[in-house]
């Protein structure tokens, strides 16, 4: 009983548009671009940075921000997520541990 325990990484992200993809020298408009990372949140601790593009989570391609959010919120706290990231022309893999979404999400973003 009680409220559902939703997974959280502490990321604000938006769809990658063709314009964004071109500016980043990406082959295609795919994934979500990270607009903000909550300071000391799971994504921050994993090394995710504003400007990174999340292309996939646990081997599943990310199509848009709603897709990314669904991939995260359905995870149980403590679950490790492997994220395929595009950063400055390179593909990286980062691993973040999902936590339970705080009742009041922090608002302090990293630079």
**Whole domain around residue 49: which residue ranges?**
7-100
Q: Is residue 84 part of a domain?
A: yes
**How do residues 31-72 score in pLDDT, each as one tens digit?**
999 999 999 999 999 999 999 999 999 999 998 888 888 989
Q: Is residue 107 part of a domain?
A: no
* CA count, 13 A, side-chain hemisphere, 47: 11
Q: Is residue 111 part of a domain?
A: no
Q: Is residue 93 part of a domain?
A: yes
Q: Which residues, in sequence order, are bridge partners of residue 36?
A: 12
97 is written with which tokens?
């541990």
pTM for this predicted structure: 0.88
CATH classification of the domain holding 37: 2.30.42.10
**What Å distances lie between residue 56 and 1, 26, 42, 87, 102, CA to CA?**
32, 15, 17, 13, 24
Domain count along the chain = 1
Q: Is residue 110 part of a domain?
A: no
């Amino acid at each position: 009983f009680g409220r559902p325990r939703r997974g959280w990484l502490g990321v604000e992200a938006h769809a990658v548009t063709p314009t964004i993809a071109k500016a980043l020298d990406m082959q295609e408009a795919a994934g979500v671009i990270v607009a903000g990372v909550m300071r000391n949140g799971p994504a921050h601790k994993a090394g995710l940075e504003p400007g990174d593009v999340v292309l996939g989570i646990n081997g599943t391609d990310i199509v848009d921000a709603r897709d990314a959010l669904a991939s995260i919120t359905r995870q149980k706290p403590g679950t490790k997520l492997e994220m395929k990231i595009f950063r400055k022309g390179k593909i990286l893999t980062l691993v973040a541990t999902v936590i339970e979404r705080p009742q009041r999400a922090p608002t302090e973003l990293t630079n």
